[in-house]
């Protein structure tokens, strides 16, 4: 894949680079962040996020659908325009589970570059996990012993056990399960009536538990307080519902510490509502109403395997991890 264009790494001297960009194309969302260095971190100058559902139908067809590709290309064109207008000096764009699994993933990547100039790298699940940790680890609660960081995506969920006793946490173990909010919803379906919804939710929990089993078998949970940090649309949405927000507010949610029991209560309540009733809940709406139940099932299963008293919420992850690498002089 060419390394130039709107997303490929340009070659200015590091001192000249002003704006950096990170694009994360997931199974459900397309997210862009443009920032400039500030102190030991960075200041965001522009951002974009759109639900594109690139992986819609992938579980049954094994391919990215034409409709999903069209939606995603429309979002990427907006991103490309922002990259040009902000005169981004260095950028990296990555694609995750949907493009890893789709038979026509490489074909889509080539088309995206041809039509938008954005050169997407299909990264491994391990790289995805590392970038998520790099982007959000600053929000881990202080403490001793290993901590668990997780990222619930559209097509997969990454679990990362870290030793946070260093400025950049050392990864002790990691696991990627092939269930995210899109893939799990498509596999389990939607139940009719209260009994049907309960049965589907139980089936979701069972699928996720089975997928997590190899990781659980390797775990040696530490004594004392367990630390847990989640980064994903699922945890930020459920935290917003827990707080009773009328609309999403990143400044309130990012870095929030929530009682794990409260997140279970929200998850179980939402899982047993009808689709129409879920759509009426603030911060969920029609865009997330059909997928949020799968997120609840994944989250509850994580709380089973790592029963922490509190859950840290991060509205940051892969994009922030990419930016930190770029600003430290690393393009990969």
Taking only the tens place, the pLDDT of each residue in 56-106 is 999 899 999 999 999 999 999 999 999 999 999 899 999 999 999 999 999
Question: Helices 233-243 and 260-271 sit at what angle, rounded to 10 degrees?
Answer: 90
Res 116: pLDDT:
97
Residues 163 and 77 in one domain: no
Q: What is the mean pLDDT of residues 154-182?
A: 93
Residues 269 and 181 in one domain: yes
Q: Say which residue, 92 or 167, is predicted with more confidence.
A: 92
Question: Helices 66-85 and 105-116 sit at what angle, rounded to 10 degrees?
Answer: 40
| Banded model confidence at residue 328, pLDDT cuts 50, 70, 90 | confident
Residues 193 and 258 in one domain: yes
d(CA 30, CA 25): 5
In the chain, % of residues over pLDDT 70: 93
Q: What is the mean pLDDT of residues 203-211?
A: 98
Residues 253 and 295 in one domain: yes
Residue 5 lies in a domain: no
Res 13: pLDDT:
42
Q: What is the mean pLDDT of residues 313-326?
A: 95
CATH of the domain at 40: 3.30.420.40
Q: Are 299 and 234 in contact (CB under 8 A)?
A: yes
Q: What is the mean pLDDT of residues 202-223?
A: 92
Average pLDDT, the chain: 91
State pTM to two decimals. 0.89
Residues 161 and 281 in one domain: yes
3, pLDDT greater than 60: no
| Tokens read off for 226 | 């367990």
| Tokens read off for 87 | 């005169």
Bridge partner list, 51: 29
**186: part of which helix (H) or strand (E)?**
helix 181-188
Max Cα separation, the chain?
A: 62
Bridge partner list, 299: none
d(CA 322, CA 21): 8
CATH of the domain at 200: 3.30.420.150
Of the ranges 181-185, 217-221, 266-270, which one carries the lowest mean pLDDT score?
Answer: 217-221
Residue 331 lies in a domain: no
Q: Say which residue, 41 or 178, is predicted with more confidence.
A: 178
Question: How do beta strands 157-163 and 257-259 pair?
Answer: unpaired
**Strand order across the beta sheet in which 29-38 lies:** 41-51, 29-38, 20-25, 90-95, 120-122
Q: How far is CA 75 from CA 35, 46, 80, 81, 175, in A?
A: 19, 15, 9, 10, 30
Residues 183 and 296 in one domain: yes
Q: Total domain count for the chain? A: 2
pLDDT tens per residue across span 107-133: 999 999 999 999 999 999 999 999 999
**Percent helix, strand, coil in the chain (nearest 5)?**
45, 20, 35
| Banded model confidence at residue 330, pLDDT cuts 50, 70, 90 | low
Residue 200 belongs to what domain range?
126-318
Residues 130 and 114 in one domain: no
d(CA 275, CA 297): 16
């Amino acid at each position: 894949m060419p390394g130039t264009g709107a997303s490929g790494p340009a070659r200015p001297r590091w001192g000249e680079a002003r704006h950096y960009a990170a694009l994360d194309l997931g199974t459900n969302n397309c997210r862009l962040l443009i920032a400039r260095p500030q102190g030991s971190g960075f200041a965001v100058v522009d951002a974009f996020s759109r639900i594109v559902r690139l992986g819609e139908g992938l579980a049954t067809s094994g391919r990215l659908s034409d409709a999903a590709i069209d939606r995603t290309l429309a979002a990427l064109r907006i991103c490309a325009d922002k990259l040009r207008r902000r005169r981004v000096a260095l950028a990296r764009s990555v694609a995750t589970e949907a493009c890893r699994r789709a038979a026509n993933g490489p074909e889509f990547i080539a088309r995206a570059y041809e039509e938008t100039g954005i050169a997407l790298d299909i990264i491994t699940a391990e790289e995805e996990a590392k970038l998520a940790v790099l982007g959000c680890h600053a929000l881990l609660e202080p403490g001793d012993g290993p901590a668990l960081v997780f990222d619930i995506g559209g097509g997969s969920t990454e679990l990362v056990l870290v030793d946070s006793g260093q400025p950049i946490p050392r990864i002790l173990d990691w696991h990627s399960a092939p269930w995210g909010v899109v893939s799990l919803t498509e596999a389990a379906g939607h139940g009719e009536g209260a009994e049907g919804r309960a049965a589907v939710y139980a089936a979701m929990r069972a699928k996720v538990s089975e997928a997590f089993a190899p990781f659980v078998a390797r775990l040696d949970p530490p004594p004392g307080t367990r630390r847990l940090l989640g980064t994903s649309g699922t945890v930020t949405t459920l935290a917003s519902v827990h707080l009773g927000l009328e609309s999403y507010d990143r400044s309130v949610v990012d870095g929030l510490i929530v009682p794990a029991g409260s997140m279970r209560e929200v998850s179980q309540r939402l899982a047993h509502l009808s689709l129409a009733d879920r759509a009426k809940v603030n911060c969920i709406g029609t865009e997330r109403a059909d997928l949020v139940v799968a997120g609840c099932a994944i989250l509850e299963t994580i709380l089973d395997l790592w029963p922490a008293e509190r859950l840290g919420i991060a509205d940051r992850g892969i994009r922030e991890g990419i930016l930190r690498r770029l600003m430290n002089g690393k393009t990969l």
